[in-house]
């Protein structure tokens, strides 16, 4: 499953991780699919963390920030994918103050490169994502280079407007089906600098459930960019 999974961690640095997973393993001579084969996951309660330079390939999301509502359980109880119980010792489950830079890779099973997912009333805010380079080979397109939120009812559906907010996402180079997919909600955020290598798709999709989100400097490969007419002003002598 997840290579690195952190819960309720604060004030930290994570850097220079390279992953090499393929979504399956050969067991008794037969290739078996391995689910949830993420690279790095920050989960409930992670705050004030800098992540720098994550590379490689994974069978699921390369990097994911997830704060998913769950029923309480005993810490360390078998059968759960997370060690800590939701709301452990009354600690905040919010994910905030995360800086993520220099992500280069792709998901070999077509999921996402970077995933942000909070559900229910858990907030995710104050996030900086700077620099994603999609290394997908020809013939493979991930679902999205960056995905925000979800509508899956098993996770509580789309988050209310305002619970996923204050994102700065910039410098995204994508070959995926969508460069950025806003599948949940997003408010008070800026998306700046997207190079979309898939001319058959909308670069930033899912804007219906957003508020005060500015999107600028989006370029799709293969599109004609208008060239401005030269100025009629002559140089002249300026004194």
SS3 for 18-63, per residue?
EEECCCEEEECCEEEECCCCCCEEECCCCEEEEEEEEEEEECCCCE
Instruction: Tell me what pLDDT residue 227 has.
Output: 52
Tokens 């619970």 found at = 163
Distance CA 89, CA 86 (A): 9
- Residues 119-152 have pLDDT tens digits of 988 999 999 999 999 999 999 999 999 999 998 8
Residue 45 near residue 92, CB atoms below 8 Å: yes
Rounded to the nearest integer, the mean pLDDT of the chain is: 90
Token digits for 198?
A: 């898939």
Residue 185 neighbours by CB under 8 Å, 6+ apart: 149, 158, 159, 160, 161, 162, 163, 164, 209, 210, 211
Task: Work out whether strand 40-42 and strand 4-6 pair parallel, antiparallel, or are unpaired.
Answer: parallel
Instruction: Tell me what pLDDT residue 224 has.
Output: 61
Highest mean pLDDT, choosing among 72-76, 208-212, 229-233: 208-212
Q: How confident is the model at residue 25 (pLDDT cuts 50, 70, 90)?
A: confident
Q: What is the pTM of this model?
A: 0.89
Instruction: Tell me what pLDDT residue 234 has.
Output: 43
């Amino acid at each position: 499953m997840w290579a690195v999974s952190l819960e309720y961690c604060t004030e930290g640095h994570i850097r220079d991780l390279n992953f090499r997973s393929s979504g399956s393993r050969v067991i008794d001579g037969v290739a078996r699919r391995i689910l949830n084969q993420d690279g790095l996951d920050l989960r409930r309660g992670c705050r004030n963390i800098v992540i720098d330079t994550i590379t490689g390939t994974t069978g699921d999301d390369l990097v994911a920030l997830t704060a998913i509502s769950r029923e309480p359980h005993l810490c360390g109880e078998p059968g759960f994918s997370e060690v800590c119980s939701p709301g452990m010792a009354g600690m905040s489950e919010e994910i905030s103050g995360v800086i993520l830079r220099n992500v280069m890779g792709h998901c070999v099973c077509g999921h996402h490169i970077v995933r942000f997912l909070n559900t229910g009333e858990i907030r995710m805010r104050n996030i900086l994502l700077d620099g994603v380079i999609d290394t997908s080979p020809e013939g493979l397109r991930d679902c999205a280079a960056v995905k925000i939120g979800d509508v899956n009812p098993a996770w509580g559906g789309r988050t209310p407007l305002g619970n996923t907010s204050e994102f700065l996402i910039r410098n995204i180079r994508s070959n995926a089906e969508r460069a950025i997919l806003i599948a949940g909600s997003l408010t008070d955020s800026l998306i700046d600098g997207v190079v979309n290598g898939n001319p058959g798709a909308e670069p930033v999709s899912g804007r219906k459930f957003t508020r005060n989100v500015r999107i600028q400097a989006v370029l799709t490969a293969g599109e004609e960019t208008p060239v401005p007419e030269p100025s009629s002003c002559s140089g002249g002598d300026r004194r």
